[in-house]
């Protein structure tokens, strides 16, 4: 596990690469866990272990997390620092800390990635953050204690829950006017919510009502109410089912969204489960356990816990997303050519691999050295400084003129970094 320091770097927007159906896309499926005690744990879902921890010196009270549609940006609210942390997810480094409102809680990214919406729990407002300029461009007044937030698939509406006693509310915001255009009565102390993929239903978690309000977003009325466990808190949808955390009964309820009924028995997890997020293929649900400092893994096929991952102190929010490889830059150096009776020796072939976004060296990468005509020379692995170097004994058949044209160094790429090639020089000793 690595501890990532604060790194300020220019914003980079990348699109997902379309690959042939027979080839799995390069990249990783990562889970970002906001630990309210400090730091964001990054879970590699391939190994179900924390691969590194992201620290932001300017904002150290993570609460909720969200990842942009293309997987290249992560956003984390910091409840005590009144800031939104922006993470470059391919490199897992912090790009910015943006001041928002009083006690930011929920965070959601617009479908196109241009705006992020942050609920300010004590500020009774929603901050609208422009992701290009990394500034708050609007502050929308809402009723007391806004908590959960979700953006409609078409980006035209934002839905906000309110964690208030008595009759709860779901606020509906028009994103063109940046104003509340309707409120829908729900249960008591509404916390999280999730929207159906077509945006026709909003599923609102009511913490002290121990139920879920199913809101018809067209009529803006409650179409059904579903009972769940004690003090439900988080929710995630998986096709025709919903997974709901019950923070007092230390369990997860599975809800059939076709019949709007709970499927028993409930799934026992860690102590005080808060949030839940699913793998992109829906095969597993990951649940943060606030008092256990763990994340429980639930198989959605069997609805049983298959593992537990130790994370940071007081985990709250979690967001899981496919993350593309970080762009990498390969720079080739120069080598020296020595004549021998039976051939040539090319000494000190070298190339250095770094991350484009941060400039950090990439260690452990296999670099292949060839002549400009493709004849193999040697291979080497980059060291902690990102440098690979090796010597090559070459047959006379390759030819002196070919060698003096220089060499090609190449990196095939992997799930963490993109590939590339570079030309280096060979000089006669």
CATH of residue 217 = 2.130.10.10
Indicate the average pLDDT of the chain: 93
| Residue 255, pLDDT score | 98
Q: Do 174 and 107 belong to one domain?
A: yes
Q: What is the pTM of this model?
A: 0.92
Residue 420 is inside which H or E element, if any?
strand 420-428
Assess whether pLDDT exceeds 60 at residue 18: no
- Per-residue pLDDT tens for 230-265? 999 999 999 999 999 999 999 999 999 999 999 999
- Please give the Cα distance from 43 to 236 (Å, whole number): 18
Question: CA angle at residue 242 from 239 to 244, to 5 degrees?
Answer: 160
Q: Furthest-apart CA pair in the chain: how many Å? A: 92
Q: Band of the pLDDT at 218, cuts 50, 70, 90?
A: very high
Q: Which two tokens stand for residue 189?
A: 């102390």
- Give the helix/strand (H/E) hosting 402: helix 400-404
Single residue among 323, 345, 362 that ends a domain in this structure = 323
Query: How many CB atoms are located within 10 Å of the residue 409 CB?
Result: 25
Element (DSSP H or E) covering residue 401: helix 400-404
Q: Is the pLDDT of residue 140 over 60?
A: yes
Reported as a single tens digit per residue, the pLDDT across 365-391 is 999 999 999 999 999 999 999 999 999
Write b or e for each residue in 174-185: b if 16 or more Cβ atoms lie within 10 A of its Cβ, otherwise e: ebeebebeeebe
Q: Could you tell me if 16 and 147 lie in one domain?
A: yes
Q: Are residues 142 and 271 in the same domain?
A: yes
Shared-domain flag, residues 186 and 278: yes
Q: Which structural domain, as residue segments, surrounds residue 338? A: 328-428
Judge whether residue 13 has pLDDT over 70.
no
Q: Which of 323, 342, 357 is the last residue of a domain?
A: 323
> Looking at the predicted structure, is the pLDDT value of residue 24 above 80?
no
Both structure tokens of 174: 């028009």
Instruction: Write the pLDDT tens digit of every residue in 321-357.
Output: 999 999 999 999 999 999 998 899 999 999 999 999 9
Same structural domain for residues 156 and 180? yes
Of 323, 346, 376, which residue constitutes the final position of a domain?
Answer: 323
For the ranges 58-62, 140-144, 178-182, 278-282, which has the lowest average pLDDT?
A: 58-62
Same domain assignment for residues 184 and 91: yes
Q: Which CATH number belongs to the domain containing residue 371 in this structure?
A: 2.60.40.10
Same domain assignment for residues 212 and 351: no
CA nearest to 268, candidates 305, 314, 225, 313: 305
Q: Are 121 and 194 contained in the same domain?
A: yes
Number of domains within the chain: 2
Residues 234 and 353 in one domain: no
> Are 305 and 332 in a shared domain?
no
- The average pLDDT across 153-168 equals 94
Residues 154, 82 share a domain: yes
Q: How far is residue 80's CA from residue 61's CA, in Å, rounded to a whole number?
A: 6
| Same-domain pairing of 279 and 205 | yes
Task: State whether the Cα torsion 251-185-76-14 is positive or negative.
Answer: positive
């Amino acid at each position: 596990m690595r501890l990532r320091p604060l790194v300020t770097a220019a914003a980079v927007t990348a699109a997902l690469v379309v690959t042939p159906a027979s080839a799995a896309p390069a990249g990783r499926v990562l889970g970002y866990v906001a630990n309210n005690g400090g730091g964001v744990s990054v879970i590699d879902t391939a190994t179900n272990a924390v691969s590194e921890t992201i620290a932001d010196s300017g904002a150290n009270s993570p609460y909720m997390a969200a990842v942009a549609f293309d997987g290249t940006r992560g956003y984390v609210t910091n409840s005590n620092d009144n800031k939104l942390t922006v993470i470059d997810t391919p490199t897992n480094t912090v790009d910015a800390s943006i001041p928002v409102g009083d006690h930011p809680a929920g965070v959601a990214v617009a479908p196109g990635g241009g705006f992020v919406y942050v609920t300010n729990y004590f500020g009774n407002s929603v901050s609208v953050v422009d992701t290009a300029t990394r500034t708050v461009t609007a502050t929308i007044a809402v009723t007391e204690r806004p908590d959960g937030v979700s953006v409609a698939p078409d980006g035209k509406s934002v839905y906000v829950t309110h964690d208030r006693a008595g009759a709860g509310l779901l606020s509906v915001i028009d994103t063109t006017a940046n104003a509340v255009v309707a409120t829908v009565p729900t249960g008591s102390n509404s916390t999280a919510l999730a929207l159906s993929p077509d945006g026709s239903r909003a599923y609102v978690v009511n913490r002290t009502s121990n139920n879920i309000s199913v809101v018809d977003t067209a009529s803006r009325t409650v179409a059904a109410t579903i009972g769940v466990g004690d003090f439900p808190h988080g929710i995630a949808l998986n096709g025709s089912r919903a997974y709901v955390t019950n923070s007092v009964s230390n369990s997860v309820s599975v809800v059939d969204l076709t019949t709007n009924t709970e499927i028993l028995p409930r799934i026992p997890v860690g102590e005080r489960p808060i949030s839940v997020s699913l793998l992109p293929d829906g095969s597993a649900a990951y649940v943060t356990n606030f008092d256990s400092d763990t994340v429980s893994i639930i198989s959605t096929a069997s609805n049983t816990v298959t593992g537990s991952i130790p994370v940071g102190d007081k985990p709250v929010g979690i967001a899981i997303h496919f993350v593309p490889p970080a762009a990498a830059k390969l720079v080739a150096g120069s080598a020296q050519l020595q004549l021998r009776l039976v051939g040539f020796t090319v000494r000190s072939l070298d190339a250095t691999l770094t991350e484009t976004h941060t400039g950090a060296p990439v260690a452990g990468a296999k670099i292949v050295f060839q002549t400009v005509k493709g004849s193999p020379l040697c291979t080497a692995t980059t060291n902690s400084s990102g440098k690979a170097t090796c010597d090559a004994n070459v047959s006379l058949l390759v030819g002196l003129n070919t060698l003096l044209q220089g060499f090609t160094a190449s990196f095939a790429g992997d799930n963490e970094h993109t590939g590339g090639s570079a030309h280096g020089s060979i000089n006669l000793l």
